Amino acid sequence: MDNYPYIIAGLPDLLLDHDSHPYNFKEIRQQIVESCSAKDRRLIDWFEFGLQQEGLSPHFYREALKHSNLFIRSYFAYDKNLKTAKAAYVDKHPFSGEFEEYSRLKSVFTMTNIFEREKKLDDVTWDKINEIVTYELFNINVILAFLAKAHIVERWNALDQDRGKELFNRLVQEVKGTFKGVEYK
């Protein structure tokens, strides 16, 4: 039985302001999953598998782009394009793909402040999530969109600005340490 109106009405409001918001993601997710049908739970698991994988394989993207669920298809098409465009920019290669967010992403990639760049990348992703479910009401796509946004918020909750800068600086020092004989200012 689909309880979409009940589930969606009970979801908390999520804001992407990159500040910590106290809520228990695991508890909310569990409530959602318990209220969903077995079919919807499989979709949630499938979607979250893709979110949790850092380096998704070409096989995963092929399957995602053929998936019967609109949100999964659209979200992972965007994710694939984002990662490809980001890699092309970092490698200083021209990006040959086309997707509507690219012009906005191109300006984000050029930002020198890594922390601000990550915020802006999440802003673009947040907007894309909203776009995918613009005309969706009371269905699994709205729930998947909520979970995608919740993962973004959860990431920022885990890394406040001071902790995020500390981790980034440590990462930069580790990377610098791998290049002996190169001067950094």
Q: What average pLDDT does range 38-44 have in this prediction?
A: 97
Tell me the pLDDT of the chain averaged across its residues.
85
Winning range, highest mean pLDDT, from 8-12, 21-25, 38-42, 97-101:
38-42
Q: What average pLDDT does range 10-16 have in this prediction?
A: 81
Identify the burial level of 167 via C-beta atoms within 10 angstroms of its C-beta, where 0-12 means exposed, 13-18 middle and 19 or more buried: exposed
pTM for this model (two decimals): 0.83
Distance of CA 124 to the CA centre of its chain: 10
Q: What is the pLDDT of residue 178?
A: 43
Residue 53 or residue 33, greater confidence: 33
Distance CA 183, CA 185 (A): 7
Q: What average pLDDT does range 70-87 have in this prediction?
A: 95
Distance CA 144, CA 161 (A): 27
Q: What is the pLDDT of residue 184?
A: 42
Q: What is the pLDDT of residue 14?
A: 81
Hey, where are the domains in the chain? 4-162
Extract the tokens encoding 63. 């399957």
Amino acid at 33: V
Q: What is the pLDDT of residue 11?
A: 86
- Whether residue 22 is predicted with pLDDT greater than 80 in this model: the reply is no
Cβ atoms 105, 82 nearer than 8 A: yes
Distance CA 54, CA 37 (A): 28
Percent of the chain at pLDDT exceeding 70: 82
CA Rg value for the chain: 18
pLDDT digits (tens, 9 = 90+) for 142-181: 999 999 999 988 888 777 656 555 655 665 565 554 444 4
- Whether residue 107 is predicted with pLDDT greater than 70 in this model: the reply is yes
- Whether residue 74 is predicted with pLDDT greater than 90 in this model: the reply is yes
Q: What is the pLDDT of residue 169?
A: 61
| Angle in degrees, CA 16, 85, 99, rounded to 5 | 80
Q: What is the pLDDT of residue 180?
A: 47
Maximum CA extent, the chain:
64
Neighbours of 78 (CB within 10 A): 19
